[in-house]
Structure 1
Amino acid sequence: MVAEPTFIQSQHFKNFWEKGNGKQLLDWAEYRVDVEKFKKYAHLYYEVDDLGDEVVKETYLKLPYHEASSLIEKYSRSKISGDDNVPESVKKLFLQMQETPAWFNEDLANIGARFCMRSGTNALIILRDFTLMGGYDFAYLNKPLIFTGALKKGAVKRLKDTLEFWVNVTRENALKTNSEAYQLIVRTRLMHSYARVKIKEKTENWDYKNWGEPINSWDMIATYTGFSLVFMQGLKKLGVKISEQEELGVFHLWKYIGYLLGIPPEFLPENKRQAVEHLYLWSSTQNKGDEDSIHLAKALLDENLENTIYKYPFQRKLLLNLHQSMNWFLIDKEINERLSIPKVSVSAIFPKIVVQTNKISQKIFDLNNPEKYQKLVELGNKQQMQVLRDYIKHTPKDFHY
């Protein structure tokens, strides 16, 4: 099968790229995409992390769970060698992940990491209310979540896992072999493979023609473009300034994370033009939000009321209203309506406060002053780590590889 730009003439596609956030991305990148380039990436819709899948088949599907888990955990924490007596796929996976590619520039990745940290709680707002919520409008991208029963498990744990992953992989010097971030990447890579193998094993009605392979390489690139391109777009909306070097650093950081997750690195974007091209062409394979999208959006909103970080119901209701106001400030009106996100009466007030606060803080912490910049990095890191601690404390501890 070959992917097709099925929705390139659809109204929802045109509205996004000609009037909405897509147009802002094209303008920011100062780029107009050549549709003929679709053929260059189309094969990725039917390609997956075969090595990760083989590891799952040789460990979690053959061994008792605790044995498979111990084996993977052992080599996540300590280096594997070519002489180790383990399944060949396990050896290949860890030898690949342990090898730092020649193109990786640690200094540039650290510039991206420091930017992620200095964006503080702004980053967490964008990840939740713009990247994650806005992504639910890509109907086919979300099908693996539906088929693996993510809705039944609720959004609290899913948010905790995403937050834990993002915070750990975006710290300075975090991606060393066998580090905590590296271990989380191994878990995430094999979680994707396990979900894919199980979907293919148990699901008779997976629509390969329209949805591609479950958790395919192009969907993965689009997801991590959300962590780089769309993430920075959202921060710009909140008044956060981004230097050209920070911008390139964020892309480089996520290119390396994507490589560790088994995505072909030659297709991972290195700058905003490449990222916009990927997102534009990939989104032409995606239908607009459907009933599953609405359910996912509702689960994310309901998480505000279900999470026990705040003790009192009125606090949780206020938090829900704040997140809804951000949804309406950041995401296109048409998409908010399609996802059935209620509009709150004072929707513009909270975003305006955030934007103004960012403008003031960037004057106080002069971004061109290395010492003040570092203070902003430390402050942002402290904020993010506190939110993560709160989520870990208030989330059931039932994580499995």
Structure 2
Amino acid sequence: MGKLDLYTDKHLNQLRHLEDGLADKAVCSLLLEKELLSGINSWQEIPDSLPDIFPPAVKNYFEFFLKDHPHKEAPFIREAQFFFEKYSSMILSLLGFYSLPYTYAFGDGAEVLVRSRKIVENPGERLAETALFVLECYRPGAFESDKRVLMVLAKVRLIHAMSRHFIKKHAVDWDQSWGRPINQEDLLSTNLTFSLLISRGIQKSNHSISSKEREMLLAYWGLVGYYLGIDTKFWPASNKEAFELEKIIRKRHLKKSIAGKVLLHSLLNFYRKNLFRPELSPFLENILQYYLGEEISRILELNASQKLPEFFLKNLNKFSPFSQSAGNSTFHSIYKEFLTNTQKALGVEVGINLPMPRK
């Protein structure tokens, strides 16, 4: 049965109360010595020799990233990076049309997201940061010769831990029935949006994707998940396992919520006012409904009043939220164009950095 025996309410209920001890301990130490945060933000790579001033919990955290990962020189690493170059524009489009709004339909997890002012007030920056994170994960040489991805993943994992810390400390309205904020089940679900959902989205966009390519993406995001602190014992190794894991999480948590509506409304307003070509605006909810499907669209109360023209369905990969062209063939040209377009659209340079708490 492989991992299918793990995908039960009993096991997933346990995961809702598990967080990430390594990162959480590091954040507790960092928040006592906030001046260390700006230094970490200045790093492009994790130094082989960590500063002596680092507290033990912070040293332990970064030393984890300096160890060899369990898939060293595995062929799926380069295969996934080549795959991204082939489908980059479509993948970046699917993040905005499918992966991100999908998360809003899961009521308990949406409660974490809605408590981030940036997501509600600056959804464009949030979407751009997510896209930048994906780009960094697919950087050629990542997890092998290029170590910059480890710095990005270390920051993202700490950002998760900081969010947990501040929600538990300041969110007096947090309902314990939602589980711990950014718990292990929610991390698994989010990782599926970058792997399983991208595979589904490519197929929905009338492009073929093989079973082998689907499992390659699962393996790649399993490696990403390893560095993000996910208990990889639960990460699916096969298409069947991924299907069953998403199915049970959907059954457990798909529900209407005020948080989900707030998040979707914010995202749609951003799309309408800022980045999309005018001809897309009347069909925006149709596009989301097409990818998300009937069940999730009903939960999010999408109002698709017009039929999606066939032209849009065939060319959605050309309508990236950040006007990414479909003609780029190298990662570096894709990356450069993305940074240029996001800065033009948002008026700020997009980056992945640890938030600096107020003194």
Q: TM-score, normalised by structure 2?
A: 0.84
Ranges of 4+ aligned residues in structure 1 off by more than 6 Å: 33-36
> 1:394 aligns to what?
345
State the secondary structure of the residue aligned to 2:8.
Answer: helix
Query: How far apart in 2 are the matches of 1:298 and 1:350?
Result: 26
Please, which of 262, 281, 297 is the counterpart of residue 248 of structure 2? 281
1:77 maps onto 2:56 in alignment: no
Query: How far apart in 2 are the matches of 1:398 and 1:201?
Result: 28
Query: How far apart in 1 are the matches of 2:350 and 2:211?
Result: 41
Question: Unaligned regions of 5+ residues in structure 1, if any?
Answer: 1-30, 358-375
Task: Report Cα offsets for 1:336-376 as digits up to 9, x if no partner.
Answer: 2442333253413344333899xxxxxxxxxxxxxxxxxx9
Question: Unaligned regions of 5+ residues in structure 2, if any?
Answer: 319-326, 355-359
Q: Displacement, 1:154?
A: 2.0
Whether the aligned pair in 2 keeps the contact of 1:45 and 1:217 (CA below 8 Å) is yes
Whether the aligned pair in 2 keeps the contact of 1:119 and 1:380 (CA below 8 Å) is no
> 1:67 aligns to what?
36
Query: How far apart in 1 are the matches of 2:262 and 2:291?
Result: 20
Indicate how the Cα distance of structure 1 residues 58 and 34 shifts in structure 2: closer, same or farther if over 3 A, else same.
Answer: closer
> 2:184 aligns to what?
217
State the secondary structure of the residue aligned to 2:194.
Answer: helix
Please, which of 348, 358, 369 is the counterpart of residue 309 of structure 2? 348
> 2:174 aligns to what?
206
Query: How far apart in 2 are the matches of 1:118 and 1:398?
Result: 24
> 1:54 aligns to what?
25
State the secondary structure of the residue aligned to 2:136.
Answer: helix
Q: Displacement, 1:269?
A: 1.8
Residue identity matched to 1:320: S
Task: Report Cα offsets for 1:130-161 as digits up to 9, x if no partner.
Answer: 12112211111111111233454321110111
> 2:281 aligns to what?
320
Query: How far apart in 1 are the matches of 2:197 and 2:104?
Result: 14
> 2:141 aligns to what?
173
> 1:114 aligns to what?
82
State the secondary structure of the residue aligned to 1:285.
Answer: helix
State the secondary structure of the residue aligned to 1:289.
Answer: coil
> 2:225 aligns to what?
258
Number of residues paired by the alignment? 343
> 2:150 aligns to what?
182
Please, which of 112, 132, 143 is the counterpart of residue 144 of structure 1? 112
Q: What's the RMSD between the two structures over aligned residues?
A: 3.0
Whether the aligned pair in 2 keeps the contact of 1:186 and 1:261 (CA below 8 Å) is yes
Query: How far apart in 1 are the matches of 2:239 and 2:338?
Result: 29
State the secondary structure of the residue aligned to 2:165.
Answer: helix
Whether the aligned pair in 2 keeps the contact of 1:112 and 1:248 (CA below 8 Å) is no
**Once the two structures are aligned, what percentage of the paired residues are identical?**
21
Indicate how the Cα distance of structure 1 residues 177 and 89 shifts in structure 2: closer, same or farther if over 3 A, else same.
Answer: farther
Whether the aligned pair in 2 keeps the contact of 1:118 and 1:380 (CA below 8 Å) is no
> 2:293 aligns to what?
332
1:242 maps onto 2:193 in alignment: no
Query: How far apart in 2 are the matches of 1:321 and 1:229?
Result: 28
Indicate how the Cα distance of structure 1 residues 84 and 236 shifts in structure 2: closer, same or farther if over 3 A, else same.
Answer: same
Query: How far apart in 1 are the matches of 2:270 and 2:136?
Result: 22
Indicate how the Cα distance of structure 1 residues 38 and 80 shifts in structure 2: closer, same or farther if over 3 A, else same.
Answer: farther
Indicate how the Cα distance of structure 1 residues 53 and 327 shifts in structure 2: closer, same or farther if over 3 A, else same.
Answer: same
Q: Displacement, 1:287?
A: 4.2
Indicate how the Cα distance of structure 1 residues 246 and 146 shifts in structure 2: closer, same or farther if over 3 A, else same.
Answer: same
Residue identity matched to 2:39: S
Q: Which has the larger radius of gyration?
A: 1
Query: How far apart in 2 are the matches of 1:378 and 1:145?
Result: 34
Query: How far apart in 1 are the matches of 2:158 and 2:102?
Result: 26
Task: Report Cα offsets for 1:29-75 as digits up to 9, x if no partner.
Answer: xx9x779733233321111111111111111x1123x4332046459
Q: TM-score, normalised by structure 1?
A: 0.76
Task: Report Cα offsets for 1:158-180 as digits up to 9, x if no partner.
Answer: 01110110111023322348733
